[in-house]
Structure 1
């Protein structure tokens, strides 16, 4: 009797899941795959769907309430005047999706690799007068963490307020003893969706991948570098980690601070009083137009994917992309191939070494069709290349935390800075070409002749692309 009851309950639950797939499925192919999994893999199919398959844009399980938007910047006439010109459509798109207008009078500094980045970060933190906000996907124990602890203790003794968010899964190895030390010196600390059995299925797949530091609301850092000693000392298996970060001084820094405040509300349910920052005035060399674009699974539209899609389609001369995880969805793949086929010089650079074999196979599973369409692909040989950059036409570029994959576009909380600055774009272009000179450029003829076992591995990896 109990067996019949369990089976009946199972089928009722399965029916409810099927209805949810039909009502909220994003793509027919993906919905069909989940329906097949539910019907052919008893119990496991339902668990996988609950863990990985739900459409967060429909369900909005975290429900980022409107209260968190109270401190969003109100665009001025000066802001609105920038929403024209060559990239006016991109600017309007980002503004509608993320609520941040382009801002003038920003100083931007490109920071390459860990040593340069952390020198700039510790200098800015050391000069903090009122407030330090920081959030990281990976915050690991080590020398950097200890240096930060000592600095935080000193700054708090001088009246500086410090708040910190760390991702509950990305920073899972962070010792509780260290967190207690942070609390003991006065740092306010919250985890983002920590591991809990009660909400394991609803939260594990959705992470806060942002890396943000904001000092006094006017100097900010973002990019791909986490708080980990490997960015200074390298990795025993992969060698040196190569990465790009950016320092922003100006109004765009306050927009990154707003993103932190919204995330703070999400983890703490506390609305922070906005920090009063002096009116931005023109400073020699601080004249870059910068726009912040944020994205997460609770947004109505995939803002980062739409921004990247627009930049790709807008390219007329060249498009250079550096990213370790180029696993394009159908829209991005079509945009890349169409742009390349139309005569634009499209180049991608990925790391020759990989930090995950399955991810590496998945990334390479797209190479053949990319090469066939005229896209040039370079394998960077020195260490592990982790930068996340797009630059186009000596006019526009973006640096941030987002990879070129569905996880960053659909499942993670991410943030990028879009820079409408010709000199900065040229700097990134020249850096790309310099790295290309020491990289291996793939040939379509040679690549199609690779061993069948490699093709089999790539096919295996591609099957798991929705999970990566």
Structure 2
């Protein structure tokens, strides 16, 4: 006999109960009102706490709507993703590590620029607001003795990484959100194993959610060869894990403290365009030499300390530069739930707000908050050339449709949208005035701004800025511009999907 328990607007947490006899039925009928009351009370208390947290109003409303219409599902998802965990306590080890490593950087053989130094560069006079902001919120100094090289797509990036890793003499630090155990992953694994057996110190960090499908044998083989492998926030019991919402989205490689890589590519065959679902994969990475690598090293060592509580020290990780590889002004901007400020979010806003001629953005996920949206609309209405390059096909459907819900208001302001046609565009690039470029791991969405650990390289007035702009122009040739007239003629069911996705977007 099956007994269905519904009483009033809020269903009981026990939907179906097997009742072999009348005594059992009577028992469940007796306790059902109490269970319903307790569940209703818990939903009410969660709603009350959400309001008291003084969140972004749209985020608060989104949670309240879900709790009202889907109380059981909303309750579970709030416990899983919505709780505003006391981040200071959760990430206290990262704060300690940050202070310790910054002290090391201050005594390292680096010629970091302070605020009074970079005014000697007249071509950056228009970016004083941006430079001031980056000094104040990022806790990351400007570096001058640098050389950068833009790597376009997976073939070029992986080939350069493997070549540099193969030549490592002292250490390799290897950190990615996603590592696959496919052909590409096996190739990198073999390089890491070979170098570890040669006596090179190899450390690997992978994210517990991004690499949740990584084969345990893959990890075991690395460890057997002497590679130190750790997981950032492993997820064993997702529904009981208050860390699930905080992911390490960084993609970093550091070789001997002299060469660094950062950008949009993870480790897997799909980044070479071998996934038939997406086809060609358009992405970008940057190779760095010089003082900026010290800052990437700082970020990796903070993450390593947080996961392992091992405080790694030694000049070997910040080797002196025998000569300057170049003179490019570069800053490494990092952000995450351990930061006092959403520095990459603020950096994006300031770069856009200080633009004088043109703003070019490439991002696979585009869910702007009110400040970014207003900055883009204001720039376009002021006569600036504002262009966004986005995917024409989804890899995450909710984010895809939520992104499109912002198109009309931006199109009406004069922002131009281009949808990439050959495959999937995954690069995360912001270009302004041909003077400043940001390339790294942060998407232009709330998840990257507030929840994920991210890292971007900000490059000023160099050949790399020019190369990124040329890549952007080439990508426009492979894209189809979406006009306001065409967008308004979209099917009615697209409008519904966009509205629902936008409503959920504050929770993504």
**Shorter-normalised TM-score: what interval?**
over 0.9
Q: Match of 1:133?
A: 173
Q: Match of 2:62?
A: 33
Quote how far apart the aligned CAs of 1:10 are: 4.0
Q: Match of 2:106?
A: 74
Quote how far apart the aligned CAs of 1:303 are: 1.1
SS in 2 for 1:299: coil
Quote how far apart the aligned CAs of 1:20 are: 3.1
Deviates more, 1:198-207 or 1:141-150: 198-207
* 1:116-166 superposed Cα distances (whole Å, 9 cap, x missing partner): 001110111011111110111110012222222322222122221000011
1:53 partnered with 2:53: no
Q: Which of 450, 462, 469 is the equivalent residue of 1:410?
A: 450
Q: Indicate if the aligned counterparts of 1:394 and 1:422 stay in contact, CA closer than 8 A.
A: no
Deviates more, 1:211-220 or 1:89-98: 89-98
Quote how far apart the aligned CAs of 1:342 are: 1.0
Alpha-carbon distance in 2 for matches of 1:95, 1:246: 22
Quote how far apart the aligned CAs of 1:184 are: 0.2
Q: Which of 222, 232, 236 is the equivalent residue of 1:192?
A: 232
SS in 1 for 2:360: strand
Q: Match of 1:172?
A: 212
Q: Match of 2:17?
A: none
Quote how far apart the aligned CAs of 1:77 are: 7.5
Does the C-alpha gap of structure 1 residues 453 and 149 become closer, same or farther in structure 2, counting only changes over 3 Å?
closer
Alpha-carbon distance in 1 for matches of 2:342, 2:395: 26
Larger radius of gyration: 2
Q: How does 1:14-29 map to 2 (within 5 A)?
A: 14=43, 16-29=45-58
Q: Match of 1:283?
A: 324
SS in 1 for 2:126: coil
SS in 1 for 2:364: coil
Alpha-carbon distance in 1 for matches of 2:87, 2:181: 37
Quote how far apart the aligned CAs of 1:7 are: 5.0
1:435 partnered with 2:475: yes
Alpha-carbon distance in 1 for matches of 2:35, 2:447: 35
Deviates more, 1:8-17 or 1:41-50: 8-17
Alpha-carbon distance in 2 for matches of 1:34, 1:262: 33
Alpha-carbon distance in 2 for matches of 1:444, 1:36: 31
Deviates more, 1:372-381 or 1:39-48: 39-48
Q: Which of 129, 133, 144 is the equivalent residue of 1:93?
A: 133
Runs of 5+ in structure 2 lacking a partner? Answer: 1-29, 120-124
Q: Indicate if the aligned counterparts of 1:351 and 1:380 stay in contact, CA closer than 8 A.
A: yes
Quote how far apart the aligned CAs of 1:178 are: 0.9
1:145 partnered with 2:185: yes
Quote how far apart the aligned CAs of 1:268 are: 1.1
Q: Which of 207, 223, 231 is the equivalent residue of 2:247?
A: 207
* 1:355-394 superposed Cα distances (whole Å, 9 cap, x missing partner): 2333322222211111111001111111111111111111
Alpha-carbon distance in 1 for matches of 2:494, 2:41: 43
Q: Match of 1:234?
A: 274
Does the C-alpha gap of structure 1 residues 177 and 207 become closer, same or farther in structure 2, counting only changes over 3 Å?
same
SS in 1 for 2:414: coil
* 1:85-134 superposed Cα distances (whole Å, 9 cap, x missing partner): 43333233233333111101111000001110011101110111111101
TM-score w.r.t. the length of structure 2 is: 0.86
Alpha-carbon distance in 1 for matches of 2:142, 2:239: 38
Alpha-carbon distance in 1 for matches of 2:64, 2:389: 36
SS in 2 for 1:390: strand
* 1:205-243 superposed Cα distances (whole Å, 9 cap, x missing partner): 221110000001111001010010122242112111111
Deviates more, 1:43-52 or 1:389-398: 43-52
Q: Which runs of 4+ in 1 moved over 6 A?
A: none
Q: Match of 2:336?
A: 296
* 1:1-33 superposed Cα distances (whole Å, 9 cap, x missing partner): 755654565466445534532332322332233
Task: Give the number of aligned pairs.
Answer: 467
Q: Match of 1:105?
A: 145
SS in 1 for 2:90: coil
Alpha-carbon distance in 1 for matches of 2:87, 2:211: 28
Does the C-alpha gap of structure 1 residues 353 and 128 become closer, same or farther in structure 2, counting only changes over 3 Å?
same
* 1:260-286 superposed Cα distances (whole Å, 9 cap, x missing partner): 1111112112211144333335536x1
Q: Indicate if the aligned counterparts of 2:62 and 2:503 stay in contact, CA closer than 8 A.
A: no
Q: Match of 2:122?
A: none
CA root-mean-square deviation? 2.2
Q: Match of 1:381?
A: 421
